[in-house]
Amino acid sequence: MTTNCEPVRLSPEYCVGAMTMRNDDGGEPPLTAEQAAERQRARDRMIARHKLIEAMIRNNELQLRNDSARGGAEIEMHCALRDNALPGAGVEALLEMERATARFQALQVEHERLVAEREWLNVALLEFESGPSSDEHKRSGHA
C-alpha cells in the first residue's frame, strides 16, 4: 500500500496533511462483469424487499386508522339508529342515520381492501424469503 501526503492549508497558520491510500499490494481483485451483475441483482432484490416492508408498514398504519374510524362510525351509526327509533323522530334523524350508515359501510369496504392488500403483501414477503436459491443467499449475505 502506498500513501501520498499532500499539505492542505486551512488558514495561513494551520496546515494539515491529507493522506490518500492506494492498493498496490494486490488487495481484492476487481469484480468481473458476472460478479458485478450478481451484486446488482442482490442489491435490486434488497431494495425491492425493503419497499415491500415499507408498504406493509404503511398498510398497518392505514389499518389502525381505519379501525379507529370504523369504531367511531359504528358508535355514530348506533346513536343515529337509536335517535331515529325515538317517537317523533323527524326527517333529520333519518338523514343522520343514513349518513352514519353510509360512512360506516364505506369504512368497512376500505377495511376489507386493506386486509386483502395485507394478505397480498404477506404472500409477497414469503416469496422473497423462500424464493432465492442457496447460492443467491450466499451472494446477498443471508444466512
What is residue 2's predicted lDDT score, i.e. its pLDDT? 47
Residues of the chain with pLDDT under 70: 1-27, 132-143
Going by DSSP bridges, is the β-strand pair 2-11/14-22 parallel, antiparallel, or unpaired?
antiparallel
Burial of 20 (0-12, 13-18, 19+ CB in 10 A): exposed
- The pLDDT assigned to 16 comes to 52
If 0-12 CB within 10 Å is exposed, 13-18 middle and 19+ buried, where does residue 63 land? middle
pLDDT of residue 31: 83
Handedness of CA 88, 93, 95, 99 (dihedral sign): negative
- Is this model's pTM higher than 0.85 or not? no
Task: Please give the backbone phi and psi of residue 32, each rounded to the nearest 5 degrees, phi first.
Answer: -75, 170
pLDDT at residue 105, as a whole number? 97
The residues pairing with 11 across neighbouring beta strands, listed in sequence order, are 14
Q: What pLDDT is attached to residue 17?
A: 54
